Structure 1
């Protein structure tokens, strides 16, 4: 009983001290937060950061997340002892984990916009973020094991560094968005230079059990310059700019990819069934529209036995394309004969299928032209194909063009076949 009273007293004292500290002006509070940063440039060799991909790693991540959310009041205890959402089931979500001596001690999930959008979209307006162009990823499900929360960021900062590198270098992401408790928003603003999406606090954020939340964003395209201005002259353990943008940590295990894909799916049919049908009822509880979308994503025959059956019509306005499209980010060029002269244009390919591809061009192109495209689909995987420019779509993010292939070459066919046959990113390594 006395231990409970001491714990309650300390919690009350900390709350009072935080309340007093908030009365200081922001010009004092924010520099104070930044001086508290402690990022070890040489973490313990027993620390490993990687994509969570096995049943054991994912289950440990979901358990740590469950306990953290329950203790914070963001969810009610679940019989499974895990926090699992439908977003974790999508190939556009990647869960990272921090392991110490082989034991999972921290986790964070990165959610690219997929068929279900973002969790935050139910409460926050992302219009201004979208207007800047570039892909968005929601950072969610951040949790560190209680035994490692008082280690001065020894787990948190390496995990966040891996997250930033993964988003910028592998996940095709420009903007990060996050929903945090109002009590913690200033740490994100001061230490990570996040900007609030809106001034007002959302009183009830359903994705966190109705708890209040504040939305924030970070532009990865400008983050390096911002961090350099704030941290550039600080010593190594206080210099988040050097830590996040210049330092290479051998503790980070980066994904191995044969092709320049932008997703790292890990959900095999067995894992999907275990987490979302057996341990929880996430899939059976979906409405028919979401079930239909899930079927369109996992269209390989191996997934059919574990996907939820629909109660009504299977037609929900989402007809399947003749050829499945695959997300990719790779460089290329296209050459057209314009007035008797060959002219080449740089492309940024973002999507491919067996019959064509979609790409961004900084220079305007005219439709209904025939030419030749050279695309680097992966390391030493260059394809040269005859194409016809058939579509143009102008958006706030840029100009995107659709190309139809006359006849895919062997490299192109091998790439698409590999993407079609693979169940997880491990199949493409």
Structure 2
């Protein structure tokens, strides 16, 4: 039905490209005018306009290194950045120590990623962080607290789920710079597909970002907007993208666009975002414990409170 409606629209408006170009030219007058008019533009034209206004994509940044957090100091830096950004946004109240850690970070399969300046003499100080949480039989996913029926529906289909969350960018590198979060997105998608072998990537976002995720990144809503206790009861909406079909969907929509604006090329042809890993994923269990899971999170919390590094627990 969706494709029938789209074909009907093209027959009724044979000059959709001209119409889109005209609307875009009007909106180029000012960002204020764009914000005022865009919500009232029909969805088909709105999506074409938004996708056409994508900034030129960079497949790599020489001054940014992406890696997994694998030391107490790196975890603390990520959790501190997350805490500070969320406090400023009103998503959480300040805590002591100033770290944003959720219980799902204790999942041994959870991963915390960070983007750091390569020329930082003070070590790896993140300006970007994101976490991936594979579904866990005991703890579930963070979004279960607000959207469990929708997540359970996916589980009932036998799908392997992974949620991206705890996203934050340093404010000094956020305004007007979409390259860092886009490279982060590419890293997360690649890791979810190639390392975790997930079927669905899930996320909860503030509704003000909904059109970005729906119109550009091709996520789909799986629930209505509701308050979310994880972020001070701010409004949130749950989204998913089917990782088994996402490459084909990106190809259909972006495949014929110039490479600098071609998200299919960016995500699936240009190579994955370079990332430094502490070790290969098939390493022994003891080494995994050293870097991930409940034992590491316990050591991070203890170190933040006492300055003392706890030894690894045995057994």
TM-score by length of 2: 0.77
Match runs of 1:239-318 below 5 Å: 239-249=262-272, 251-254=274-277, 256-257=279-280, 259=282, 266-267=291-292, 271-277=296-302, 279=304, 302-303=312-313
Q: 1:176 to 1:255 in 2, by over 3 A?
A: farther
* Cα RMSD, aligned residues only: 2.9
- 1:182 aligns with one of 196, 201, 207: 207
Distance 2:313 2:283 in 1: 25
**Structure 1 residue 219 corresponds to structure 2 residue 242:** yes
The one of 139, 151, 154 aligned to 2:179: 154
Which residue of the other structure, out of 172, 180, 202, is the alignment partner of 2:197? Answer: 172
Residues 39 and 153 of structure 1 are in contact (CA less than 8 Å); yes or no, is this contact kept in structure 2? no
- Tell me the residue number matched to 1:207: 230
Cα distance, 1:254 vs. partner? 4.9
Tell me whether 1:71 sits opposite 2:94 in the alignment.
no
1:87 aligns with 2:104: yes
Change (3 A) 1:254 1:225: farther
Tell me, yes or no, if the aligned pair for 1:39 and 1:240 is still in contact at 8 Å.
Answer: no
> Could you tell which deviates more after superposition, 97-106 or 172-181?
97-106
Q: Find the counterpart in structure 2 of residue 110 from structure 1.
A: 132
Maintained 8 Å contact 1:41/1:247: no
More strand by share: 1
Q: d(CA) in 1 for partners of 2:160 and 2:228?
A: 24
The aligned residue for residue 66 of structure 2 is: 49
Q: Is the 8 A contact 1:195 1:218 kept in 2?
A: yes
How many Å separate the matches in 2 of 1:258 and 1:133?
24
Deviation at 1:17, TM superposition (A): 6.1
* 2:137 matches 1:127: no
Distance, in Å, in 1 between the alignment partners of 2:135 and 2:245 is 21
More helix by share: 2
Per-residue CA deviation, residues 84-135 of structure 1 (Å, 9 max, x unaligned), is 1111222121111111224311011000112211111121121332344331
Conservation of the 8 A alpha-carbon contact between 1:45 and 1:251: no
Q: Which secondary structure state, in structure 1, belongs to the residue aligned with residue 70 of structure 2?
A: coil
Query: C-alpha displacement at 1:52, in angstroms?
Result: 1.1
C-alpha distance in 2, partners of 1:160/1:250?
9
Q: Deviations over 1:206-252 (max 9, x none)?
A: 11111111111001100000000111111122111111111125633
Counterpart position of 1:137: 162
Say how many residue pairs are matched: 271
Q: Partners of 1:107 and 1:273 in 2: how far apart?
A: 20
Q: Is 1:229 aligned to residue 239 of structure 2?
A: no
Q: Give distance in 2, aligned partners of 1:157 and 1:231.
A: 15
2:38 aligns with 21
Q: Mean Cα displacement is larger for which, 123-132 or 49-58?
A: 123-132
- State the structure with more CA Rg: 1
Counterpart Cα distance in 2 of 1:269 and 1:215:
26
User: Closer, same or farther in 2 for the Cα pair 1:121/1:258, shift >3 Å?
Assistant: closer
Q: Give unpaired runs (5+ residues) of structure 1.
A: 1-12, 281-300, 305-420, 422-429
Q: Does 1:195 align with 2:217?
A: no
User: Do the aligned residues in 1 keep the contact of 2:106 with 2:295 (CA within 8 Å)?
Assistant: no
Give the distance between the partners of 2:257 and 2:161, measured in 1 at CA.
Answer: 30
Q: 1:258 to 1:59 in 2, by over 3 A?
A: closer
